[in-house]
Structure 1
């Protein structure tokens, strides 16, 4: 990292001994044409996440997913749903089924964490689930890089897990927002890694 504070940032967390894969909010609202959070080109991130899933499943590492679900009336959405009104698409029973995970799908036994805020850890059982499974490294994929991926990676670090954000397996509303957030995550909160490194590490 260049600049007057370059030496103060961008240390490496390294890989632990027990990784898990967390697929964040890869739901129809982001991945399908016409979705309320439609991404311009989600295909490469979906393909990369598929490669991570294959590696993790083959090696027997935990795979966890997140989705966003609000109760009818959005009372559990707090101020977040006021700030981002389009989140109403995730209200229980809402038309369109935008909150459905797809096109990739969880397999039986894989935990699906339902959340109401950006972080996969906030108000959920995720940390307890990871600790019970002996996980020390969390490989992060999904959407969006600047939102739920970023918030979840930061909270992974806060909870004592080594976050590994896979560059090719995340996406955002613009490439510029995606890249800028990856740079900042890598500087302060996570190791941003390439797909090849993540797949190789998950296969072990």
Structure 2
């Protein structure tokens, strides 16, 4: 993270770093054993510079995620329903929000559509969003594209992202111009 230019009106967006995608997903953890340390460094970097840190978490269920039925048919081996219970949230030991850090709940792969993320960023006068988290080629990618489309400058911190394999991760980062960071 050294050498990255930042400004007070920047934010770090941490996408889907939760047990469903890390500790319960052997392919991701096996492919990216360095991810916990890299994410901790990214969080430390942002927090030490007093950047806004926002956590994006998913809630996928049949009432709020119309795409879920199709996904379950195409991917019967993957967990599709993820229930969000604000009273009983599980976090990874290496990625726990601090008091005062915002959390946004999403019902699709895109953390922007039908969420409070864009209005919150605009109220906070954020111009640039640094992106990190899980899964590089799905939720990080869709959220990054949604933020870009909403008018924000988006910078993906590729070293603080992970996917279901190195090839998928690297191909997704190519879409971002090499994944800075």
| TM range, smaller chain | 0.7 to 0.9
Aligned-pair RMSD on alpha carbons?
2.2
1:122 aligns with 2:109: no
| Deviation of the 1:145 alpha carbon | 0.8
Residue 123 of structure 2: aligned partner: 132
Residue 163 of structure 2: aligned partner: 172
TM-score normalized by structure 1?
0.74
| Deviation of the 1:164 alpha carbon | 0.5
| Structure 2: gaps of 5 or more residues | none
CA distance in 2 between partners of 1:15 and 1:108 (Å): 23
Q: Which has the higher helix share?
A: 1
After the TM superposition, which segments of 4 or more aligned residues of structure 1 sit over 3 Å from their partners? Answer: 14-17
C-alpha spacing 1:45/1:144, structure 2 compared with 1 (3 Å): same
Query: CA offsets per residue over residues 74-112 of structure 1, 9 Å max, x none?
Result: 211112353146222x1357xxx8x72313100011011
Q: Is the contact made by 1:25 and 1:101 (CA closer than 8 Å) also made in structure 2?
A: no
CA distance in 1 between partners of 2:139 and 2:119 (Å): 19
- How do 1:31-50 and structure 2 match up within 5 A? 31-32=22-23, 35=24, 38-39=27-28, 40-50=30-40
- How do 1:1-204 and structure 2 match up within 5 A? 18-32=9-23, 35=24, 38-39=27-28, 40-70=30-60, 74-84=62-72, 86-88=79-81, 90-92=82-84, 100-103=90-93, 104-186=95-177, 192-194=179-181
CA distance in 2 between partners of 1:62 and 1:25 (Å): 17
C-alpha spacing 1:81/1:67, structure 2 compared with 1 (3 Å): farther
CA distance in 2 between partners of 1:70 and 1:180 (Å): 26
CA distance in 2 between partners of 1:105 and 1:136 (Å): 25
C-alpha spacing 1:16/1:108, structure 2 compared with 1 (3 Å): closer
CA distance in 2 between partners of 1:174 and 1:83 (Å): 20
| Deviation of the 1:51 alpha carbon | 1.0
What is the count of residue pairs matched by the alignment?
168
| Deviation of the 1:158 alpha carbon | 0.4
Q: Is the contact made by 2:8 and 2:50 (CA closer than 8 Å) also made in structure 1?
A: no
